[in-house]
Amino acid sequence: MNAKRILLLLLGPLFVAQACCAQDKKTDDPFIARPYLQIGRTPSPESLQLLWHAFDTGNDWVVEYQPKANAPWKKADTPTSVRVAVAGIEPHRVFQTALTGLIPGSKFSYRVVKAGKVVFTTEGQASKKTDQPYRFVAFADIGAETPAQKKLASQAYLAKPDFVVVPGDIVYERGLISEYRSRFWPIYNANQVDTSGAPLLRSVPMVVAPGNHDTDTRDLDKYPDALAYYYYWNQPLNGIAGTEGGPLVPSMTASADNRKAFTDAAGEAYLKMSNYSFDYGNSHWTVIDSNPYVDFTDKGLQDWITADLASAKDATWRFVMFHHPGFNSAREHYEQQHTRLLSPIFEAGKVDVVFTGHVHNYQRSYPLTFVPDKKGVLLVASMGAKMARGRVVNGRWTLDKAFNGTTNTRPKGIIYLVTGAGGQTLYNPEQNSDPDSWQRFTDKFYSNVHSFTVADVNGKTLSIRQIDVNGKEIDSFTVTK
């Protein structure tokens, strides 16, 4: 008997034991992604959607919930599911049901039952209604599986937000199903709160915008599990829908089979969930796909944003969220200024704050108004390169330097925030202590620490704090009306 065989004989039982336990684990935890709350297609303070992912076997799920403590348990509608069966990934299902009749702003309990056995139980938080104060957390460029991302996930949870917004780059590198599984769900929906993550997604809804790492990869023949953004988020579909190859959406590369697998699973979310809007409390949110493949001079897009902001006439606050900042002082991505073209529309629509990411640090602009002098100049990477690297948009800005967020809280213009220090490697830490390198529109700039944004809205008062990964407040300001 050779040494290899002896080793196999000795280790054989161990392999069997491992196979047995892995199997048991799978049986005990039937989820690929544990239950998470979403605002849904038609958000309301009385309802939330509950989603989870599970293997492609068995439909014997039941969801029960208790709108308030000691109330009778209610049975949610029978969960529906969409099958995701793309090449290279074991088919799975995204399950969903609605939790209705919630009490605005109140905690509720819910549990998920499979085959008659409770497999998940927790508490959630219903959305706030117009006259209730609320808190939200914002961070972008997050799903990178870094220690900072994990710590910030815990901090965000401990900040007790009512909801979370992510201005893009949800998952690195390519927004793949496989990347969501290692870099996203286990961290933002962990069973415990510690430096590896927190049960954030099961407690409050997260609302996301598409970043370049989420929707840039459109070659489904090479990456069949790309564009998972369109499978997993249950958000409004009330915006402008582009057409492939048109001014808002680039063409996709996909065989007939790969395309069918994608569209069967994405449903209406593709192409509608790129631009959308919703109301939360007394605020209106406009979410835009800001990827450079979009033509921001497109009249249809501009008209939709204009109309959407005009429709928010009853909202006290108007917030806009997208990925690519127009007003960025970091060297990285400096030339990607294309979203500046939308500033006049935001100003006409009385936008208060624009939340962005993409640049992996924190920046706050002075309140400003901006007049682009033309549609901008496309830059390419180098001699002979054809791929556009960015669009430089020069123009005239007016800065409100009298606003300080403490004694003067009435900004003249829009405050543009970059909150892209949510987990991925920081950009340009060398500029942190080099104000000479900041553009004139930049008021605050922190590029040497990961951080996230906490915003409190109480009627006509908005208070924003930027908290670093060590829990230290690095910026704060208040806006009043």
The binding site for Fe ion (CB under 5 A) comprises 169, 211-212, 358
- For β-strands 206-208 and 197-199, DSSP reports them as unpaired
- CB-wise, 217 or 258, nearer to Fe ion? 217
> Which has the closest alpha carbon to 45: 110, 164, 128?
128
**Closest CB 328 distance from Fe ion, rounded Å:** 11
DSSP 439: -
Helix (H) or strand (E) holding 344: helix 343-348
- CB-wise, 118 or 381, nearer to Fe ion? 381
Q: Which residues contact 131 (CB under 8 A, 6 or more apart)?
A: 282, 459
**Closest CB 171 distance from Fe ion, rounded Å:** 11
Give the DSSP per-residue string, 397-446.
EEE-TT--SSS----SSBEEEEE--SSSPPS-GGGTT-GGGS-TTEEEEE
- Ramachandran angles phi, psi of 100, nearest 5°: -115, 170
Q: Are 107 and 160 within 8 A, CB to CB?
A: no
Cα–Cα dist 29/119, whole Å: 7
DSSP 281: T
- CB-wise, 203 or 356, nearer to Fe ion? 356
**Closest CB 315 distance from Fe ion, rounded Å:** 28
Q: CA angle at residue 93 from 91 to 99, to 5 degrees?
A: 170
**Closest CB 207 distance from Fe ion, rounded Å:** 18
> Which has the closest alpha carbon to 406: 457, 476, 351, 355?
476
**Closest CB 421 distance from Fe ion, rounded Å:** 12
Cα–Cα dist 463/455, whole Å: 6
Helix (H) or strand (E) holding 299: helix 299-311
**Closest CB 254 distance from Fe ion, rounded Å:** 23
- CB-wise, 277 or 290, nearer to Fe ion? 290
Residue nearest to Fe ion (CB): 358
- CB-wise, 46 or 173, nearer to Fe ion? 173
**Closest CB 335 distance from Fe ion, rounded Å:** 14
- CB-wise, 49 or 215, nearer to Fe ion? 215
CA distances from 429 to 139, 141, 365, 426 (A): 18, 16, 18, 7
**Closest CB 169 distance from Fe ion, rounded Å:** 4
- CB-wise, 212 or 363, nearer to Fe ion? 212
- CB-wise, 201 or 418, nearer to Fe ion? 418
